[in-house]
Every structure is written in structure tokens, then in C-alpha cells.
């Protein structure tokens, strides 16, 4: 049976998806990860603040009094 050529989906999953030269890595993967984590944390804090603003202040005051 004749070997078939790669399909387009197989071609997109090539080992080096970036247009960089083979063997060339990103400038600093650790820095990228740290920056991404900071962004996510910032968005998380912002959404938390929005949630707190949406709640009534009285409800927030009552929460700590509840026995855990």
C-alpha cells in the first residue's frame, strides 16, 4: 500500500510550530511564565474586587461573625 502524505492537521502539529530556526528557544520561558502568572493574578484580583463591590456591605460585615 502506498504511503499517504501528511494531512493538514498532522502538518500543523509539527514539532517546531514557531517560525524560528530549529533549536532556537524563546528568549526566556521562565520570564514568560512569570509574566503570564502575574497577568492572571491581576485579572483574578480585579474580578474578586468586582464581586465584592456587587455584594451589599452589610452582608460582608456579617460574614466574619459566622462561626467557622
Digit-coded pLDDT (tens) for 11-35:
555 555 555 555 556 667 788 888 8
Number of domains in the chain: 1
pTM, two decimal places? 0.31
Question: In the structure grid, which three cell numbers stand for residue 16, read together?
Answer: 517546531
Integer Cα distance of 32 and 43 in angstroms: 17
CB 46 within 8 A of CB 54: no
- Residue 65 is assigned to a structural domain of this protein: no
- Residue 32 is assigned to a structural domain of this protein: yes
45: domain range?
27-60
Amino acid at each position: 500500500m502506498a504511503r499517504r502524505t501528511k494531512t493538514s492537521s498532522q502538518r500543523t502539529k509539527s514539532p517546531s510550530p514557531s517560525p524560528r530556526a530549529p533549536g532556537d528557544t524563546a528568549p526566556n520561558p521562565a520570564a514568560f511564565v512569570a509574566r503570564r502568572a502575574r497577568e492572571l493574578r491581576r485579572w483574578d484580583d480585579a474580578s474578586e474586587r468586582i464581586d465584592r463591590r456587587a455584594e451589599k456591605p452589610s452582608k460582608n460585615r456579617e460574614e466574619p461573625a459566622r462561626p467557622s
